[in-house]
A and B are shown apart, each in its own frame.
Chain A
Amino acid sequence: MNYGIELSNQSAIIIGVVAVFYVIVITVFGGYFARFNKNINDFFYSGQRFSWWLPAASMIATGIGSYSYLKYSEQGFNSGMSSTMTYMNDWFILPFFIFGWLPIIYFSRIKSIPEYFERRFNRTARYISLVIIMAYMFFYIGYNLYTIGVAMEGMFGFPQMYSVPLLSIFLGAYVTFGGQTAVIFTDLFQGIMLYIAGGIAIFAGIYALGGLTEWWEWLPISHRLPLVHLTDNPKFNTAGLFWGEALAGSIAFTFMNQGFIMRYLTIKSVDEGRKAGFFNVLITLPLSAVIVGAVGWIGRSLINKQNALGHALEGYNFIEIDNTFHTFIIICWETVHQNPWIFGFIVAALMAALMSTIDTLINACAAIGIYDLYKPLVKPEATDEHYLKAARWASIITTVIGTLLVIWFNQQEGSLMSIHYKGIMIIIPSIVTTIFLGAFWRKFTPTAACVSMVMGSAITMITVWYPSVIDGLARFVSGPENGVYIYLRALFGMCVTGVIGIAISFITQPKKDEDIVGLTIDTIDESMKIYKGGEPNFELGEKILKLKVSLNETLSYNKIQLSPNNMNILKAKDGDLTYIADSRWFLGGLRSEHVKAFENKELKDDEILMSTPTKDSAYLLDGKTVDVEKIF
């Protein structure tokens, strides 16, 4: 495989230098954040201190994997702008997430999805879910490493057995030392990088075509449409995409992807988490759909124009795409006039996509390793220092396992995309349905959860060898009946799991109501009270800016005092949960903390009082002012 482009030795060296330089810069940048990890809560959840925009912006890069550019450009070239469908059909599940799952996990202080399973059901459910979730995440880690390995080998002839371990070392290094904070800040940086590189590729393509109007007019109607044919293409059709991707896939990505869940848990409040959620679905995902797929749409238009004219576009080579999987590489290479520096930057973006997805997953797998295996089973009582060290070892072990999985991926047959979808659509349905029933139906029993997860997974797996069992369901929803079920397999798995779960719930005993407080949607109010340690105060106040910090060592840790006027502006009562942060907005809450506010009649309006331990835990610097806002 040579990716349809011929690189001279000089070009290959330049591209390689740009890419390696980029990887080194990111590793050093990520390593800087090791200083913000005092305990494992900092290491995995950054102390729940960030403003919404920081995790939201960093999710851009997390959501775009190394395979995304290659896969969606190919999809865009073959079926047109409907390649955006998987990124733009997530709104339907948002009510469940924004008002259901997000407050449940946030207020009940869940650290991992398996932990939710133990608290909501029992320990058996925890470890069944752990196996499924780990399979899901390791699958993604291995798959991303494999795709970048394939790309490196194809473009530069650099064998996977060298490129993959080398990349893993760099990745593992900053995740191991910097933890979640490093992941968020590097992903923010990489997100910007992805958009710039994607923007360059799109601009170069549109410029080659002669402008946006030319691009649109040379695009056939079938390639302009936002939604694909209802059933025609067995691998990409609206009916299958709706049930399998908009519902099952989106729920999986939002509800059970430990990496994304952890990102939401780094945010300072549920309200800010909601902002991030809306921003992600409304802005990030549609924009990402354009960034990863547009080169394919441009490629289609360009080839049509070129074929109609009967010759290459002026100033460009005649472009031929024999293997559509190479669309992104070929179109970029040709439209940037084979400039190795610019192309090197685009290849670095592929690296960025890989690193930003995998760093999140490594951190997430390590979190599960610590919270669900090491802490409860190996060493329940240990110091923070010990767990922090263990967390770093967990990151290293995760990286090594992910790297070894590349060997397994290399032995699989079929295209990259079919491997991807087949794997994911088998793994997710049973656990997604169990989470859904657990969170939204109080009567769902522990026995039902365990049995439905195991049986749901087993029956979904069987459909790989006997796909005809899905025929009836496909007929029922007027989906494609072709035996090549990809998305409808997920719907089938969800239905089977749901039916088994509901049936068993009717004949087994649910957990007592008092044992599942805060873990179902109808108990969120109680959960908020427990989270705050008192009655929540929902009255909306205003944020107070630029207060000078004064120290008073008689104040308890995590308590602050404000003037009566400031308490009134905040609409806060004594003991209300507030949030203090360094006034410099661009830090995004890196230097901040949750504290309880109390009134002090002797304080001036431009002053805030706290003890040194509180100041230190917020990482506040001498001479810098702070902003204060009420959480609730």
Chain B
Amino acid sequence: MPRGAPGVGSGHTLVICEKPDAARRVSEALSGGAYRSELVDGTTAYRFSRGGEDFVVCSAQGHVYGVSDPSDERTVYPVFDVEWYSSDLVDKDSAGAARRISAIKKLAAGASRFVNACDFDVEGETIGYNVLRYACGGKEEEALRAKFSTLTEEDLVQAFGDLKPQGTKGLALAGRARHAIDFVWGVNLSRALSQAALGSGHRYRTVSVGRVQGPTLGFLVQREREIREFVPVPHWKVSGVFERDGRKFTAGYSVDRVETKAAAEGVRDDCAGREATAKSVRRSLAQVGPPVPFSVGDLQKEAYRAFGYTPSRTLQMAERLYLGALISYPRTGSQKLPASINYRNILAGVGRIPEYSAHAAEILKAEPRPVQGSKSDPAHPAIHPTGDRPRRALDASEANVFDLVVKRFLAAFGPSARRELVDVALAVGEHEFRLAGGRTVFPGWMKYYGRYAGYRDVELPPVSEGDRFRVVEVRVEERFEQRPPRYNQSSLLEKMEKEGIGTKATRADIIATLVGRGYVAGEGMEVTELGFSVVETMARYAPSIISTQLTRGIEKELEAVEGGAGGEAALMRETVRSLARQLADLNANEEAVGKEIDSAQMTTAAKSSVLGRCPVCRTGELRMIRSRKTKKRFVGCSNYASGCRASAPLPQRGVVRTTSKECERCRWPVVYILGTGRPWRLCVNPDCPGRKRR
């Protein structure tokens, strides 16, 4: 597109989008590609005419306004008065916000009409509201709203042909209230804890406890305690190997878990040398309905199951696909696909992509009707493909998430699958063994969902009642209860959803913050000493901070504000009152709080430098050490003074995270290197045979 000379013009309609890609797509769709782009203070704006009207489209590029403390003091608390500022004054990662605001101000001057085209959700409404209020000179009331769930030409043209008055102020007010509450919460507690730790300790490090972060860390600590205190109790699993017509198969004992060794061995002894009879053969047909359409949480869980992607990575991929107009808006809680999205059009579009064409065509043979889930979202439908083809090559992660979204969408239109289940009861005297099999006799939706469907066939030999079998062997295996699993990013997200804390837009970031702050470490999200200490300290001196109840209550109030019930000022006042009480308690115990946090910081730092047991001397620990001379980091043994010379170089870039795992080939510790692109595993042994092979 031609790049024109900068100019501000007048009498135009100014359209505010949330992201630059969205601004370009809106311009393409409304102008049919006939737009001019120009740089205003380094921000790209698009100009075109439509129906005799001049349009200028620009983007905020996320939050250009943020909440902060009006005073310049960064260590003083409590802080209960907050103001909205240009984001670059609030957040070091938002450099450039002032320039974008300046550009929007210039573009707003002389505009006769304003359209908020930011994402239609709490965050988008908040961004649009703030830009209209502060950068456009108080136009938040009179602006119009373009509502769309996909960035396809069809949806955008329709949305701009049906602009509504900005009647969704509840979302913006709730968003602003959430930002203010979370700021007040976070800044006061972080300052209180960090100052306390600094007062009694070694060096300053930010210790934060956000409003949702606190209870979430509480869940992790509770689970970690259950794991660390766990004592497994033994039980026995009994199974039998049976033979008929030269064919052997294994059946489980009817009691899944035999509580005593004597009872288990009794079964084995009773069955030895005897015959089994097929006492009953039950065949049944089970209908397995299609999976419901994806909400963002469902997509994050499924992508974790299918590809091991963290929730934040999945969301990032989904947002890229949305901005590429390939899928609908991903931050949705809905599991419903309304007919208004035009199933036939989307299926026809998806059908033009070769790998989906056969299945899409099959669905289109009848009237397409998808299964619907129970959750709804007033702003957006469930995540679905738009029917557009990728215009650029997708990277592997994007392609995976896109494939998952498309196949889930197709699966929603599929008929129920049918599985034949067979349950055979084999009697040996008074004992009974059960043989279970199952196979898919009609794949239905499973065919469309492909490898994500996850059902396996277990074929059984033909068996009739009364058939006799030789008991070849009865096995008795000692088993132990399994300790509870640690949360992973997906199951933690599920827990947050279930407990009603955080929002679909913020949960993944909160989990990432817990990792970033050093409260949890490693693949399995193991709570560090610091994580324990923060929760212990809060539980002792300010228990409401980690209370799910308080956070959930605030979420409920915010939902009411979103729905237009108002009350945001009262909610803010109540939050401040509650926080002030907790801060006073923390303050009264500052010395004790500081000591606990500082000591935990030291322990966590010391532990995070231990990579594992030294495979050379077998008594020392391999540690990450920084050379005083070269300032470079390397691995050395704690028994260096006793003569162990085990050492290894380490990458100098990125964060080294311990894994408590040993290399299968050489038994040296394995670490994770983060922050240099995709995280990667590294055996620290420079002579590892595995390394040489690669």
- Tell me if chain B binds chain A: no
Please give the residue numbers on chain A whose beta carbons come within 8 Å of chain B beta carbons, in ascending order.
none
